[in-house]
Amino acid sequence: MTPSKHDLSRPAGAGRERRRPSFAWLGVLPFLAYATAFLLLPAANVLIGAFRSPNGGWTLDNVATLFEEPYRTAFKNSIEVSLVTALLGGLLGLMIAYSALREGTPKWIRGSLTTFSGVAANFAGIPLAFAFIATLGVLGVVTTFMTETLGINPYDHGFSLFTKTGIEIVYLYFQIPLMILVIAPAIDGLRREWREAASGLGASAFQFWRHIGVPILMPSLLSAMVLLFGNAFAAYATAYGLTGGSIGLVPIVIGFFLSGDVLDNPHLGQALSFGMFVVLGLMMLAYIPLQKLSSRWMR
């Protein structure tokens, strides 16, 4: 077959596109180095140390000890606090965010809520514990007002800020704002045209949320609650500053090992950290089928 005049006029190799190597990925190296040094290596050290004995050998005794007291109760308390604050924080945050971000709400409310949520979501630790003690403590401002003005002292009726319930109340202070920040983009994704179309077809507000609104928001809602669970499960300073370590939570117990209060077997602290990894991993595994189910509702 004789090449055409057009083919002969093209220079050799003109049809081949030469791709120059890109070095843009080198910008990720600092992050990879940071993640390796302060995340991957410490996590690997924890995982290995959880199965080491004080004399340097391998053992499963550390992990088996997690099912004994007081460590079993510590995991129970941490999971309970995390679930309660994740569910309440998720639902309350969703309702507040929708009320403030939906169409027709003044723009200044959205800006104020977003700004406050950004600050409150990062306000934790000792300052947050002190703020609640000064507000709802035995001699707190609100407690004193209720006692002197209303004649009702909540501490005389079974309430105490320095209990597991008190920790949950304090955690909601940063859980709800975090939920607002996470769920806001999903609420913005609810188009007005969908509601107008549903209303035009005779659907009520309840039917719209049941068949359209909730299925669309469900994946974001579930992922946000998983984030809230992990945020509460790993919190340490707030609960410790509030209760002084009298309430057994896994991060507080690990803190005892790190501070040197428990010296008989330091590897047990690493086993507790390993247990936290397992709990968070199970939460992620539970989230995957729920996300698939939610995606099926969205079709």
- Give the pLDDT confidence of 42-59 residue by residue, as tens digits: 889 988 999 988 887 898
In the prediction, which pLDDT does 166 show? 94
pLDDT classification of 201: cutoffs 50, 70, 90: confident
In the prediction, which pLDDT does 127 show? 92
**pTM score of the predicted model:** 0.83
pLDDT (mean) for 84-110: 89
pLDDT (mean) for 74-79: 94
pLDDT classification of 10: cutoffs 50, 70, 90: low
pLDDT classification of 103: cutoffs 50, 70, 90: confident
pLDDT classification of 3: cutoffs 50, 70, 90: low
In the prediction, which pLDDT does 200 show? 84
Bigger pLDDT: 41 or 256?
Answer: 41
State yes or no: pLDDT of 2 exceeds 80: no
State yes or no: pLDDT of 262 exceeds 80: no
State yes or no: pLDDT of 180 exceeds 70: yes
State yes or no: pLDDT of 16 exceeds 60: no
In the prediction, which pLDDT does 146 show? 94
In the prediction, which pLDDT does 128 show? 94
Q: To the nearest 10°, the Cα dihedral for 134, 142, 236, 252? A: 90
Q: Is 270 left (phi over 0), alpha (psi -120 to 50) or beta?
A: alpha
In the prediction, which pLDDT does 286 show? 74
**pLDDT, the chain, mean:** 85
| Least confident residue range of 62-76, 198-212, 242-256 | 198-212
Spatial distance between the Cα atoms of 188 and 204, rounded to a whole number of angstroms: 21
- Give the pLDDT confidence of 104-131 residue by residue, as tens digits: 778 888 889 999 999 999 888 899 999 9
Spatial distance between the Cα atoms of 50 and 67, rounded to a whole number of angstroms: 14
Q: To the nearest 10°, the Cα dihedral for 115, 119, 232, 129? A: -140
| Least confident residue range of 94-98, 176-180, 220-224 | 220-224
Bigger pLDDT: 219 or 270?
Answer: 270
Domains contained in the chain, CATH given? 76-298 (1.10.3720.10)
pLDDT (mean) for 195-216: 82
